[in-house]
Amino acid sequence: MGHGVCAGTENKLSTLSDLEQQYRTLRKYYENCEVVMGNLEITSIDRSRDLTFLRSIREVTGYVLVALNQFDYLPLENLRIIRGTKLYEDRYSLAVFLNYRRDGNFGLRQLGLRNLTEILGGGVYVDKNKFLCHADTIHWQDIVKNPRNNPVVVPSNSSVTCQKCHRSCNGRCWGPKEDQCQSSLAGWGN
């Protein structure tokens, strides 16, 4: 396995006007990338895009921003650590908001971050994702290094349509399937 290291971006919410170009740029940046030196910004990606190339990412040194997207699943399944050396709005190393289409019935339904066990700097902001489930089942205190000093803002109410966590997950999961339990290895360096 090659250690693909790639540069992140600092565009915040400003995006290219062309959605096709926005997707192609994202893909060009992160295909075969394992370590993002900087921020991973996923913004304005429309609904039917293949994002499986994001599975290669294991570590982000800055922040992760996921905003203004319309896809239903974020395949950052192997992201294990967000270092938070740079923070979004000087506060958050994971910011996920406004991921749905205003006039449509679709948007982000699952975070899919099932290997995320460490956020070393900064807090978590998850809000205004109309269809998102399970963000409130995650024990963010186990992931965020210093939850007392770093804000964790997540909606406390899963939408009515959310499925329960699989029974083997003890009520903590990233999605309803058995392999989507929140890992309890946080802090053990695995």
Q: Which residue has the tokens 């096709």?
A: 20
Q: Euclidean distance between the first and final Cα of the chain, in Å?
A: 18
- DSSP class of residue 47 equals T
What is the predicted pLDDT for the residue at 188?
42
Q: Which domains does the chain have, with CATH numbers?
A: 5-180 (3.80.20.20)
35, 4 in Cβ contact below 8 A? yes
How confident is the model over 9-62, as pLDDT tens digits? 999 988 767 888 999 999 999 999 999 999 999 999 988 899 999 999 999 999
What is the predicted pLDDT for the residue at 187?
43
What's the Cα-to-Cα distance from 93 to each of 25, 45, 60, 142, rounded to whole Å? Answer: 22, 20, 10, 15
What is the predicted pLDDT for the residue at 190?
35
Q: Say whether pTM exceeds 0.85.
A: yes
Which stretches of the chain score pLDDT less than 50?
1-2, 186-190
